[in-house]
Chains A and B, each alone.
Chain A
Amino acid sequence: MIEVEHLTKNYGPRPAVKDLSFQINPGEVVGFLGPNGAGKTTTMNILTCILPATEGKARVCGFDTFDQSLEIRKVIGYLPETPPLYQDMVVSKFLEFSAGLRHVPKKKIAAAVDRVLERCGLGDVRHRIIGRLSKGYQQRVGLAQAMIHDPKILILDEPTIGLDPIQIIEIRKLIQELGTAHTILLSSHILPEVTQICQRVIIINEGEIVAMDTLDGLNASMRHSRRLELKVRHSTDGIQGKLEGLHQVLSVQTRGQNLFVIESKPDVQLQDEVARLALDQQWGIEELKPMDMTLEDIFLKLTTEEKDVKETQV
Chain B
Amino acid sequence: MKSIFWIAKREMGSFLYSPIFYVVTTVFLVLYSFLFFAILSDFSQASLQAAPQAAALQKAGYSINANEMVIVPSLGNMSVILLFIIPLITMRSFAEERKNKTFALLLSSPVHLGEIVAGKFLACFAIAAFMILLSSYSIIMITMLGEPEWGPIFSGYLGILLMTGCYIAMGVFASSLTDNQIVAAVIGFGLAFLMWLMALPAQNADTGMGTILEYLSLGSHLESFLKGIVDSSDLTYYLSFMAFVLFVTYRVLDSRRWR
Assembly CA distance A139 to B107 (angstroms) = 19
Q: Which A residues lie within 8 Å of B9 (CB)?
A: 97
Contact sample, A vs B, 26 pairs, CB 8 Å cutoff: A48-B107, A49-B107, A50-B257, A73-B109, A73-B110, A74-B110, A76-B108, A80-B101, A80-B108, A84-B100, A84-B102, A84-B103, A84-B105, A86-B100, A87-B100, A88-B14, A89-B14, A89-B17, A93-B13, A97-B9, A98-B109, A101-B106, A101-B109, A101-B111, A103-B2, A145-B105
Give A85's nearest chain B residue, CB to CB.
Answer: B102
Instruction: Enumerate chain A interface residues (CB-CB to B < 8 A).
Output: 11-12, 45, 48-52, 70-71, 73-74, 76, 78, 80, 82, 84-89, 93, 97-98, 100-103, 145
Given known pairs A86-B10, A97-B10, A100-B3, the reply for A73 and B257 (CB within 8 Å) is no
Give B109's nearest chain A residue, CB to CB.
Answer: A101
What are the interface flags for B7-33 relative to A under an 8 Å C-beta threshold, 1 for contact and 0 otherwise? 101100110011000000000000000
Q: Which A residues lie within 8 Å of B14 (CB)?
A: 86, 88-89
Give B100's nearest chain A residue, CB to CB.
Answer: A87
Taking a contact as CB atoms under 8 Å apart, the answer to whether A80 and B109 are in contact is no
Shortest CB-to-CB span from B171 to chain A, Å, is: 20
Interface residues of B, dominant DSSP: helix
- B112 at interface (Cβ–Cβ under 8 A)? yes
Assembly CA distance A45 to B107 (angstroms) = 10
Q: Which B residues lie within 8 Å of A52 (CB)?
A: 257-258
Give B6's nearest chain A residue, CB to CB.
Answer: A100
Taking a contact as CB atoms under 8 Å apart, the answer to whether A101 and B105 are in contact is yes
- B104 at interface (Cβ–Cβ under 8 A)? yes
Give B5's nearest chain A residue, CB to CB.
Answer: A100
- B59 at interface (Cβ–Cβ under 8 A)? no
Assembly CA distance A50 to B106 (angstroms) = 9
Shortest CB-to-CB span from B84 to chain A, Å, is: 25
Q: Which B residues lie within 8 Å of A74 (CB)?
A: 110
Shortest CB-to-CB span from A13 to chain B, Å, is: 12
Give A77's nearest chain B residue, CB to CB.
Answer: B108
Shortest CB-to-CB span from B110 to chain A, Å, is: 4
Taking a contact as CB atoms under 8 Å apart, the answer to whether B10 and A78 are in contact is no
Assembly CA distance A85 to B97 (angstroms) = 10
Taking a contact as CB atoms under 8 Å apart, the answer to whether B2 and A50 are in contact is no
Shortest CB-to-CB span from A188 to chain B, Å, is: 18
Taking a contact as CB atoms under 8 Å apart, the answer to whether B6 and A51 are in contact is no
Taking a contact as CB atoms under 8 Å apart, the answer to whether B102 and A86 are in contact is yes
User: Residue B110 contacts which of A70, A82, A88, A145 (CB distance < 8 angstroms)?
Assistant: A70
